[in-house]
Amino acid sequence: MIWAHEPTAVGSLQGTRPPDSTSPDDFQYNAKGQNVEFTTTYRAEPDTWRFQFTGVAANNNKSPIVMDMENTAQSPYGYMPVGLGGFENQNIPWNGQNLDPATMYALSYYYTAPISKSKGTVTIGGKTRHLTGTIWFEHQWGNFNSVQQPWTTAYTWGALTFNNGTVFTWRQWYGAPYRSAPLQPILEIGRNSYGTPNGTPDGALTFHVGNNAEWKALKTWKSPVSGRNIATQVQLTSTFGTWYLTNVFDYYEMPWGYPPYGNNPYSFVEAAMWIHTGSVDGPIVGHAFEEQANQFTLYQGVVPG
C-alpha cells in the first residue's frame, strides 16, 4: 500500500503491548503522520497477525485507502526459513565496494508462513471489498540500504503455491549491467526452497543454493509510466520441474518513484500470476506471487513473445 499512498512523512514508530494482551509474546507497532497510519498487531494466542492501514491515494483524486486484514499461519508448514539457516545474502557488489562486517555483510534474516488464512476488508474510493482466502506471508529484515547499495535490488523473486499444497520459492540475483544488454544472472548465488504437504516430517522444506533454478522472461510489456520493460510471461526451470507463469493482470507495475507517485526513478513489480504446466497456455496448477525489483526492471530488455 505504501507506493499508492501520497508521499508524506510517517511519524516515529511506537512499540507497545496490544490492548487486552494475553501473552508476553504479544506486540503492537504503530506509526502515523499526516493522512497516514500503520498498525501491526501480533497475538501469540491464537497466533494471528492484524495489519491496519489508513492513507490517501497518490492519484485517483486523493481518495482514502483503508485496510484491515488478519492473517493466521496454517499447518503443515507453519513458519519456515526461506534460506538455509534463515539467512540470505543480498547479492554481491558491482563496483568493488567491500562488504562491511559492521553492517552484517548485507545479509538478511528471512522467514515465511507459506500458506496463511487471510480475512478482512480493503476500502478504496469509498468502496469496501470483503476479502477471504489464502496468502503468502513473509518477514525479511537486515542491515542493507538499496539506495546506497543498488545491487541489492537486482533480482527476481517469487513464491509458488500449487493446488495440491506444494510450495516453492526462489530468488535469482543479477550482476552489473552492460551498455547494450540487460543485467546478467548470477545463478551460482541464487537460492530456492521446495516443500510438499506430505514431506518427512510433514511440511519439511528442501533448500538449494546455487545453479539449480533459472527464471527467464518469455514476453515483456513496456510501461507507459516508467518506460521499463516488464516481464508478463515467464519460464521457471528448477530441479523439481519446469513451470510457466503468466500475469493475472497483464499490464502492471508499481512505479512509486514516477509522477504522479513520486520524483525518484524507482519501479517494482509485485504481480499475482498463474502457474501453468507444459507452456504458457497449459493447464493452471496453482498461483504465484512474483517480484521484479528496481535495478532489474531498469535494465530488462524487450522480449516480444
pLDDT band of residue 206 (cuts 50, 70, 90) is: confident
Residue 1 has pLDDT above 50, yes or no: no
Residue 8 has pLDDT above 80, yes or no: no
Residue 290 has pLDDT above 80, yes or no: yes
Q: What is the CA radius of gyration of the chain?
A: 20
116 closest CA partner among 154, 156, 153, 161: 161
More confident residue, 11 or 298: 298
Torsion, Cα of 115, 252, 290, 214 (10° steps): 150
Across the strands, what pairs with 222?
A: 229
Q: Which amino acid is at 93?
A: P
Instruction: Give the per-residue pLDDT at 101.
Output: 82
Mean pLDDT score, 234-250: 95
176 to each of 88, 154, 183, 248, how far by Cα in Å?
20, 9, 6, 30
pTM beyond cutoff 0.85: yes
DSSP string, 276-293: ESSSTTS-EEEEEEEEE-
**How far, in Å, CA of 234 to CA of 241, rounded?**
14
Mean pLDDT score, 227-248: 96
**How far, in Å, CA of 129 to CA of 184, rounded?**
41
pLDDT band of residue 143 (cuts 50, 70, 90) is: confident
The owner of cell 504522479 is: 260
User: Could you tell me the three cell numbers for 120?
Assistant: 478482512
User: Could you tell me the three cell numbers for 68?
Assistant: 484491515
User: Could you tell me the three cell numbers for 152?
Assistant: 541489492
Residue 297 has pLDDT above 50, yes or no: yes
3 state SS of 300: coil
CATH code linked to domain 74-299: 2.40.370.10
Instruction: Give the per-residue pLDDT at 7.
Output: 53
Q: What is the pLDDT of residues 106-128, one digit of tens each?
A: 888 999 999 999 999 999 888 99
Residue 185 has pLDDT above 70, yes or no: yes
Q: For the chain, what percent of residues have pLDDT higher than 90?
A: 53
Mean pLDDT score, 276-284: 98
Which run of H or of E encompasses 297? helix 294-299
Residue 9 has pLDDT above 70, yes or no: no
Q: What is the pLDDT of residues 32-69, one digit of tens each?
A: 888 889 999 999 999 999 999 998 877 667 788 999 99
Q: What is the pLDDT of residues 86-107, one digit of tens each?
A: 888 889 888 778 888 887 788 8
